[in-house]
Amino acid sequence: MIIAVDGPAASGKGTIARALAAHYRLPYLDTGLLYRAVGLNVVRGGGNPSDPDDALAGCRFDDLLLSDPKLRSEDAGATASIVSAHPAVREALVERQRDFAARPGGAILDGRDIGTVIAPHADAKLFVRASPTVRAQRRHAEMAGMGQQVSVDTLLAEIRERDRRDSTRDTAPLVQAADADLLDTSLLSIETAVQRAIALVDARMAAR
């Protein structure tokens, strides 16, 4: 059983994917972390994320890097969005993600291109969405919880810019797969969003 969860920043896809992983007892891969790690490598090495060679040189991972709290910042998300537009970077990360998806017991992955590129034959695909304002408010609340005060307007501008970059790139843009179920979480509590997600996946599995 392979489940693909895609969607824009702060749509709630990570929360939903983790809950599905627990519900169906599947291993979970947050593929955004890989792109965030590449971006962090480039910045730490003094490279330019817009330069394809610098970005490709940043495609190295270890467990320490992938657990670095700095990966979670909005800055790291913005840098990830720049390095992830290079086709060579996406190519360098494909095998790792496909290997994870091919685990014998199944797997769940979340990102931008899981249902379209990484696992086009996934058993269930969710495209998670929420309005930009709601997403900016969520990030704001998240950051306030960590003692960081960034205005909703600033976060809204960052989210719109990241949406634009992720949706307009030539390689593996953020787009809903034709056979994905749409889940808009704008007005949903986490509990309700997770219940809906489980119902959608169950319906897909029953129809197979």
Which residues participate in the annotated binding site?
7-15
140 contributes a contact to ligand CDP by CB under 6 A: no
DSSP one-letter string for 82-135:
HHTTSHHHHHHHHHHHHHHHT-TT-EEEEESSIIIII-TT-SEEEEEE--HHHH
Say if CB 181 and CB 129 are below 8 A apart.
no
User: Please, what is the minimum distance in Å from the beta carbon of residue 173 to ligand CDP?
Assistant: 9
The only residue of 2, 3, 4, 15 in contact with ligand CDP, by rule CB under 6 A: 15
132 contributes a contact to ligand CDP by CB under 6 A: no
31 contributes a contact to ligand CDP by CB under 6 A: yes
What x/- string results for residues 153 through 172 when contact with ligand CDP is judged by CB under 6 A? ---------x---x------
Q: Which C-beta is closer to ligand CDP: that of 155 or that of 206?
A: 155
181 contributes a contact to ligand CDP by CB under 6 A: no
Residue (of 17, 5, 148) closest to 73 by Cα position: 148
The only residue of 88, 190, 199, 203 in contact with ligand CDP, by rule CB under 6 A: 190
The only residue of 47, 49, 58, 77 in contact with ligand CDP, by rule CB under 6 A: 77
Backbone angles phi, psi at 171, to 5 degrees: -95, 125
Which residues line the annotated binding site for ATP?
7-15
The only residue of 59, 81, 124, 201 in contact with ligand CDP, by rule CB under 6 A: 81
Helical (H) or strand (E) element with 142: helix 132-145
Residues 40 and 19: their CA atoms lie apart, in Å, by: 27
Angle 87-101/32-44 helices, nearest 10 degrees? 140
SS3 153: helix
Contact residues: ligand CDP, CB under 6 A: 7, 9-15, 31-32, 35-36, 77, 80-81, 84, 111-113, 138, 142, 162, 166, 185, 188, 190, 193
